Amino acid sequence: MITRDGGYGECLDLMHRLMTYRHEPIHSELMKVRDRYSMLHLDVLILIYHFARICSGAILEIGAFVGGATIATAFGIRDSGQNKRLIAIEPGGSVKHKRLGTRNILRDLERNLTRERVTDLVTLIKGHSFKPETVATVHRVLGSDQVGLLILDADAAKRRDIDCYRDKFIEGAWMVIDDCYGIDANEKITSSRADVDALVAAGLLEPLGFYGWSTWVGRWRGCGG
């Protein structure tokens, strides 16, 4: 865990909350989600579930793949008992992967959302996050709503995606950004991490820690000026 500016208590609270979910039925639900649909670590899916339960405003996911984090988020919304909009952006394609390989990401994503009975909770936008038509659609769907949770797991251009949607972030919005750590750092991790570190240095992101294999967690602090 890393901390800054007295965020120590919040870091510990998050770790503690994560532990308490291990003794609740949602833990085994999310274990199945992770096995069937997700490249993310179980701890990250639990955190995403938690943030989806507690956040205010809408939720934006960039890089849904076949739906692991999307389904964890939808379960969090379901268990919050509140109406929260979840927008998931995914361009589709095919992926070679030992456990989760697919020849048609969008077909499998839609099938998995249906299988887990969360289709009605998700607004799926098919396209690349940075394309002007995608940015316009997200803004249109959000209307006057703001984003209280961002799940960013697409490519290495973290700053690009944040810049596309930062005008919609609530101050203190939860941020879950993957590919920020790795033992054998590759190009994706190096540039993702550089983007996140620069945003932290600029005071736009507040770090709350690393979870799972490579996921950075923190809050948006960019509404001040």
Ligand X SMILES: C[S@@+](CC[C@H](N)C(=O)[O-])C[C@H]1O[C@@H](n2cnc3c(N)ncnc32)[C@H](O)[C@@H]1O
> Where do contacts with ligand X occur on this chain (CB under 6 A)?
38-40, 62-63, 65, 68-69, 89-91, 93, 105, 128-130, 153-155
Cβ distance to ligand X smaller for residue 58 or 221:
58
Say how many Å lie between the first and final Cα of the chain, rounded: 28
Q: Least Å distance between CB 154 and ligand X?
A: 3
Q: Least Å distance between CB 59 and ligand X?
A: 13
Q: Which residues contact 35 (CB under 8 A, 6 or more apart)?
A: none
- Residue 147's DSSP bridge partners are 58, 169
Cβ distance to ligand X smaller for residue 175 or 221:
175
Rounded Cα distance, 46 and 27, in Å: 7
Q: Least Å distance between CB 90 and ligand X?
A: 5
Q: Least Å distance between CB 3 and ligand X?
A: 25
Cβ distance to ligand X smaller for residue 178 or 221:
178
Cβ distance to ligand X smaller for residue 176 or 204:
176
Rounded Cα distance, 155 and 177, in Å: 11
Rounded Cα distance, 208 and 210, in Å: 7
